[in-house]
Each structure stands twice: as C-alpha cells, then as structure tokens.
Structure 1
Amino acid sequence: MRLLNDYKNVKMSYLGSLLHESKSAKILEICAVFLPAISIAILAHFFAGDNPLIRQSIIWIANLLMICIIWLGLRLRDHKWKDLGLASSNINVKSVLFSFVVFIAAVLGFIMGSIIMGMILGIPENADLSGYNYIQDNIPMLIIALLAVFIASSFGEEVIYRGFLITRISEIGGNRKVWVRIAVVLSSIVFGLVHFDWGLMGIVQTGFMGLALGISYIVLNRNLWVLVFAHAYMDAILMVQMYFGVSV
C-alpha cells in the first residue's frame, strides 16, 4: 500500500511539473476543460429537445464539470483556489465596493455590444433569451434558477473564463504583457461564443461584457471575488427580468 501511495505521489508530482513547465500540457489542460463541456452542450440540443429547463440544466452541469477539472489541475500543481484569485482574504467590504464599479463596466460592455450590432445590422434586436421562459411568472422556478446561476454562472463562469482561461493562456505566453492582453481578448471571445444559444446579438453582447470583466480581473490584481459579486448582480437582474418577461 505504501509503495502504491508513493507511486501515486510521484505520478501526481510529475503531472504537476508538466502542467507548470510545459506549454503543450497547458494547452491540453485547456482542451480537457472545454471539450467535454462542449460535447455535453451539443448533446443537450439533441436530447433535451425544446424543453428549455432541461437544456439549461445540462449547461449548468457542464459548467460544474469544468470547475471539477480545473480543481484537478490545481491539485496536481499543488495550488489552491487562491492561485486563480479566490483568496478568502479578498472577501471584504473593499471587494464589494469594487464589485459595483465592475458591474457598471460589464453592463456598459453589454450595451456597447448592442450598439455595435445595431450599427452593423441597421436594426437593433434583442438577445434570444427564450431559454429562460420557464421562469416567467413562476416564483419557485425563479428561486431555483437564481440559486443555480449563482453557483454555475456567477461563480462558475468567472472561475472558468477569467480565473482559469486568462491565467493559463497568459502562462503559455510566459506571462508577458502582450500575452496577458491576448488572453483577455481570447477569453472574452470564447465567453461570447458559449452563449451561442442567445443568438448573434447575445454572442456579441456577452463577448463585450466578458472583455470588461477580463480587463477588470487584470486591473484588480486578479481578485476574482470582485467579478463573482458583479456577475451575481447581473444574473439576478437578468433572472428578475425574465420573470417579468422583459426583453434584454
């Protein structure tokens, strides 16, 4: 048993070293996080049919799976969540105050996406949020949806698209400034694309929102809690809007 444990420790140490030092290993790690989730999202469209609640639930499950794989990568590196910006010491009044500023920046980014799409298309249109119709005039489903999005979206998406993706892409480029900027842009593009079910308008809106959040992540020295709080405000407002049937 002791030999087996020693073998496991050596193997984990070796994998951790690869993830630390090898650019190829970092790229494979990104693929390992995103490819299973993409596969689940694609299957959701086939098996969930037109049931928006089931489709949304599968997306939430995919986000949770991604978080688990990210946690495994941290464990192999002998890192903790604080290494992505989730230090418990950052849960304080200062972070909450900054979160309102980031919230405003993200909303402005979302609006900027709307303006740009309006200029391109000539006719403004709304993001397709019909996937949340099950919430309309349904208090129990609103409460369930809020709890789910706070965990899988507000927390989960910030861990995935800002904490993890920006950090790993930056590391691939040796954390040089230009690569940090590339990481922020790429993460915002990916963040927009994963909202493909919101339609083209939704992709652009969330892409610009992701850009604002990514820039905030870097400017605030990677304090991810600020972004989690700001994202939670946006998700809460969105869910309430869906409850009242208000278009975005």
Structure 2
Amino acid sequence: METKMENVQSDHQNWIYCFGEMLLVFLPALLFIKCTSSWVGEDLIRSYGVVWVANLLMLAMIWTSLKLRGQSWKEFGLTFNPVSLKQGLRAFGQSLVVFVFAVSCFILGAIIMANITGIPDSADFSRYDFLKDNLGGLLLSLLGVYFISSFAEEVIYRAFLINRIAEITQSFKYSKLIAVLLSSVFFGLIHYEWGAMGMVQTGFMGLAMGISYFVLKKRLWTLIIAHIYMDTLLFVQIYLASN
C-alpha cells in the first residue's frame, strides 16, 4: 500500500515537472511572437526573423531541460555521430517512405476539409513576390526554412513534445498514441495563419510524422530529412507560382 502511494506521488510530481518544462519551452517563445506581431505586420522577412528567434529560444530551453535532467539530445533520437554508407542509404530510403506517408496525410486532410467547408479560393502568393526571377532568394529562403521548419519543428513538436506528453500519460495504456495525437493537434494549431484547412492539413502531417517517430524507434534525422523534402517541394511550388 505504501509503495503504491509512493508511485502515485512520484507520477504526480513527474506530471508537474513535465508540464512546467513545456510551459518554460513554449511560453517565452509565444510571448515573444505576440510582442513583436505589430512590428512584423505583413513583412515576410521580419516574420521569418521572429520565428527564427522563437525557435532558437525553444531549442535553448529544451537543451537546458535536458541538461538539468542529466540527459543529452540522444534521449530524443538526435545524434551527431558519423554514419556508414549503409546507414546513410537506409536513412535515405526510410525518409522517402516517411515523406510519402506525410504528404499523403497532408492531402487527406485537404480532402476532408474540402468536403466539409468546400474548396477554398486560390492561395495568395503576393507575400512571396520577392522570389520572382530570384533563384538566389529561393535558395536562401530554403536554407532558412530548413532550420526554422525542417529541423526545429521536428525537434520541438515531435521529439520534445511527444516525449514529454508520453511521460505525463505513461500510466495510461495508450500513452504513446495519446502523445502523438495531442502533439499533432498542437502542431496543427501553430499553423493558424494557414486557415482552417491548413491547420487540419498540418495536423494530419504531424500525425504521420509522430507515428513514424515511434515506428522508426526515434530516428529523428530521418524525420528531419523527410521534412526537408516537403519544405523544398512547397517552396519550389511557391517560386514557380510567383513567376
């Protein structure tokens, strides 16, 4: 009986600690974005800059929380060790499978929303006019997006968020499933600027990436590479549309 009470108390303390970690990671970044929103306005370059800083803040807080736990990035499946050719080819093949899975879920989200709300008007690409006949601008934009989106989003919304939610819900039978679902909802909500359809699409994409995270035994670089494919495809489409 005493051991059971100790376990309950330990779970309660762990829940509070994990929840506090998530607040410390997300709250300063959200406040920073909120405080700079009037300065950013419709300026895309300023928007990128603010998101860069916000993501750096979150990554710094995640690194700090890992250090306080006596852990490293390896806890999330993020390693920086050299890999063999065989390992590299395997990761490449797996990333292509994840890419197809995530894009399929993204399209599924669009189909579901189109049946609910109808097909939206054509997207407005006027904010990307700077890409017109500007291949250098496209390449620089891709480099920025690879950090802001491909790398940072996988570390923050897949590795950190999924692991902490799974830790909070570890007493439940389907804790990993709960973690993937909740992180996908949160991932969709942070894309609120994309509208209702965009939030559902990115939520479904997050669901695919979260499932892949566990299926691949937390091989985070594989997810990051797959995300790079998606961001490249998106920006090349925007570049072609702006021209």
TM tier, smaller: 0.7 to 0.9
Q: Specify the alignment match of 1:140 in structure 2.
A: 136
Name the residue aligned to 1:201. Answer: 197
| One-letter amino acid of the counterpart of residue 144, structure 2 | A
> What is the aligned partner in structure 2 of residue 22 from structure 1?
14
Paired amino acid for 1:48: V
Out of 42, 59, 69, the position equivalent to 2:61 is 69
Matched, 1:78 2:74: no
| Distance verdict in 2 for CA 1:211–1:50, change over 3 Å | same
Rounded to whole Å, the distance in 1 between the matches of 2:140 and 2:226 is 20
Is the 1:44–1:55 Cα contact (8 Å) retained in structure 2? no
Contact 2:125 2:241 in 1 (8 A): no
Which residue in the other structure is 1:183 paired with?
Answer: 179
Query: Do the aligned partners of residues 230 and 115 (structure 1) sit closer, same or farther apart at CA in structure 2, a change above 3 Å counting?
Result: same
Q: For residue 9 of structure 1, what is the aligned residue in structure 2?
A: none
CA distance in 2, matches of 1:97, 1:175: 35
Asked whether the 8 Å contact 1:53–1:131 carries over to 2, the reply is no
CA contact (8 A) 1:155 1:228 kept: yes
TM-score by length of 2: 0.86
Q: Can you list the C-alpha shifts for 1:177-197, whole angstroms capped at 9, x where unaligned?
A: 411111101111111111111
Structure 1 residues 38, 179: closer, same or farther in 2, change over 3 A? Answer: same
Listed as ranges, the matches of 1:89-108 within 5 Å are 92-108=88-104
Partner amino acid for 2:16? S
| Residue in structure 1 matched with residue 118 of structure 2 by the alignment | 122
Asked if structure 2 preserves the Cα contact closer than 8 Å seen for 1:188 and 1:208, the reply is yes
Amino acid of the structure 2 residue aligned with 1:59? V
Note the C-alpha offset of 1:43. 2.7
Shift of 1:158: 0.2
Aligned AA for 1:25? Y
State the alpha-carbon separation in 1 of the partners of residues 168 and 34 from structure 2: 28
Give 2:51's match in structure 1, choosing from 47, 59, 64. Answer: 59
User: Which aligned segments of 4 or more residues in structure 1 are displaced greater than 4 angstroms?
Assistant: 124-133
Deviations 1:151-193 (A, max 9, x none): 1211100000000000000011227541111110111111111
Query: Which deviations, in whole Å up to 9, do the C-alpha atoms of 1:24-61 show, x marking residues without a partner?
Result: 01101101111112122223321112211111221122
CA 1:131–1:181: 2 relative to 1, 3 Å: farther
Change beyond 3 A, Cα 1:128–1:113? farther
Can you give the 5+ residue segments of structure 1 that lack an aligned partner in the other structure? 1-17
Matched positions, count: 228
1:236: how far off?
A: 0.9
Deviations 1:44-85 (A, max 9, x none): 321112211111221122112111110111111111111101
| RMSD of aligned residue pairs (Cα, Å) | 2.2
Q: Percent identity?
A: 47
Deviation at 1:137, TM superposition (A): 3.1
For 2:51 and 2:194, how far apart are their aligned partners in 1? Answer: 13
Instruction: Quote the residue 2:168 is aligned against.
Output: 172
Query: CA separation of 1:187/1:127 partners in 2, compared to 1, >3 Å: closer, same or farther?
Result: farther
CA–CA separation in structure 1 for the residues paired with 2:230 and 2:61 = 26
Which residue of structure 2 lines up, in the alignment, with residue 109 of structure 1? 105
